[in-house]
Amino acid sequence: MPKNRLIGNLNEGWRIAMTTLTHERGSASFGTQVTIRNRLDTIIELAKQVYRNGKPLSADPVFRQKLADAYIRVDVMRLNNYRTISSQLRGREPGPEASLEKLYWSETHQNMQEVGQELLGVHAQLSPASPYYPTSVDLQYLFLFSRAETIFSGTSEIQKNIIGERVLGLPKG
C-alpha cells in the first residue's frame, strides 16, 4: 500500500479498526435511542386501538407489563447516553463499556419488536400494504431488522465477551 494511503502508523490497522468500532458502538446509541423511543410510542398507541376479548390490548395486565418493561429499557438507554456524553465532554475516549451500550440497545430493540409482533397477532401475517394491516408502520420489517442489529458492529456474543474480559476482568473463555 502506498504511504500516502496509509491511515495511522504502519502495523496499527487493528488498533485503528477497534477504535473506530468502539466509537461506532458508543455513539450509535444516541440516535438509536430516539428512534427506538418513537417506535415504542407507536406500539403503545397501537395497543390502545387493538382489541382482544372486547378490550384494548393496553388494558391487558400482562401486555401492559411488557410495554412498561420496554419503556424502562428505552429510558435506561437515554440515561446511558447522558453518561457517555458526559464522559466524552470530559475528554475521555470511549472504551470497552461502549460494548455495553451496543449490546443493550440492540437487544432492547429486538425485545421491543417482539412485543410489536405480539401486538399485531394474526395481522403480523399480512402485508403492511393490506387494508387490514392495523398501522402505517412496517412492524414486520422492524422485527426482522432488529435481528440484524444484534449481528452488525459485533454480535451480541462478541459484545458479551468484550464486557466479560475488558469491563469485568474475567478470564478469556
Mean pLDDT, range 96-113, rounded to an integer: 90
Average pLDDT over the chain reads 88
Answer whether residue 152 shows pLDDT above 80: yes
Mean pLDDT of 55-76: 97
Q: Who wins on pLDDT, 5 or 111?
A: 111
Q: How many residues does the chain have?
A: 173
Mode of pairing for the β-strands spanning 55-56 and 51-52 = antiparallel
* Pick from 29, 4, 21: nearest CA to 153: 21
69 pLDDT higher than 80: yes
From first CA to last CA, the distance across the chain in angstroms is 36
pTM of the model: 0.80
Using alpha carbons, select from 11, 31, 10 the residue that is nearest to residue 105: 31
Per-residue pLDDT at 29: 72
Give the catalytic positions in this structure.
24
What pLDDT shows up at residue 62? 97
pLDDT of residue 103: 92
Sketch out the chain's domains with CATH numbers.
18-119+139-167 (1.20.140.10)
Is pLDDT above 80 for 131? yes
